[in-house]
Amino acid sequence: MKILLIATVLANAFAWPIFAAATDLLPAPPAEKGTIEYNAWLGRSFSEVMLNEPDQNKRIEMLNVLVAEDYIQHNPLVPEGRQGLIDFIPVIYQAMPDARFTLRDVFATEERVVTRWTWQGTVTGARLLGIEPKGQKLEFDAIDVWSVRDGQLYEHWDQFDWPRAFAQLGVKGMPQAFYDLAAKPADR
């Protein structure tokens, strides 16, 4: 029993400074871990706050609170683990320095959270998905689904409106219907 108590005290002592630093950046959780409200806060904090933070050091502070270290990533473009996200997110800002993420919806249960959001920006920096920057304006939607474990985002799946994004990037050779849809305003 003493060992468990000591381990708990040490774990809290080392975890608190990480959470305390990020509390200046994130809104306060509205409820206890394991609740629907808390899980909605996780999704909102990730998609609306962390993704829109241009400073990588601040994003890392937030990711340390929001995402499990052993994060399971099902998007093949993003490496596994929290470190995979830490390494990948700058790629977005290198290609699109003006990238913005607009949260549209958050749905949560006691075990999962789903966000629907819009990604906007102009490709003026590095290549995006291997495509040369030519000032392409992007605006497309995405959906993230996460499982939650121990108060952190643990496992992730996503869907992007890639046909719209590829048409806006100038990718050739797709069916004409994708170009026709991309030319129309998104129905949100």
User: Does residue 136 lie in a domain region?
Assistant: yes
User: Does residue 14 lie in a domain region?
Assistant: yes
Provide the residue range defining the domain that includes 108. 2-183
User: At CA 73, angle to CA 11 and CA 128, rounded to 5?
Assistant: 120
pTM for this entry: 0.85
User: Does residue 139 lie in a domain region?
Assistant: yes
Q: How far apart are CA 67 and CA 82, in angstroms?
A: 6
CA-wise closest residue to 115 among 26, 46, 31: 46
- Structural domains counted in the chain: 1
The CATH number given to whatever domain includes residue 133 is 3.10.450.50
User: Does residue 188 lie in a domain region?
Assistant: no
pLDDT tens track for 76-124: 999 999 999 999 999 999 999 999 999 999 999 999 999 999 999 999 9
User: Does residue 131 lie in a domain region?
Assistant: yes
